[in-house]
């Protein structure tokens, strides 16, 4: 693998900050636990980190035993 592809793979495993967004998502998740459904829209410019936040959140959900579809 070339160095640039290697660097990109390394970066894909790094996740920084976004505590505010993750806390908000976690609060919504608590409502789901109370049997109320929730729909959350992640909105922002291209490249701002929507997919990264979603991946981090679903990873945390999986770790907590949620069945992520």
Ligand X SMILES: Nc1ncnc2c1ncn2[C@@H]1O[C@H](COP(=O)(O)OP(=O)(O)O)[C@@H](O)[C@H]1O
- Length of the chain, please? 69
Question: For ligand X, which stretch binds (CB under 6 A), given 16-24, 32-40, 61-69?
Answer: 16-24
C-alpha separations of 69 from 59, 61, 66 in Å: 12, 11, 9
Of 5, 16, 8, nearest to 52 by C-alpha is 16
When asked if residue 60 is in the footprint of ligand X (CB under 6 A), the reply is: no
For the segment 44-63, give every residue that binds Mg ion (CB under 5 A). 50-51
* Binds ligand X by CB under 6 A, chosen from 23, 30, 40, 44: 44
CA 34 – CA 52 distance, rounded (Å): 27
7 binds ligand X (CB under 6 A): no
Footprint of ligand X on this chain (CB under 6 A)? 11-12, 14-18, 44, 46-52
């Amino acid at each position: 693998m070339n160095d640039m592809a290697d660097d990109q793979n390394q970066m894909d495993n790094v996740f920084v900050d976004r505590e505010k967004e993750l806390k908000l998502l976690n609060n919504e998740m608590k409502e789901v636990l109370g049997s109320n459904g929730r729909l959350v829209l992640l909105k922002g410019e291209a490249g701002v980190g929507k997919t990264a936040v979603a991946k981090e959140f679903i990873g945390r959900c999986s770790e907590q035993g949620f069945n992520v579809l």
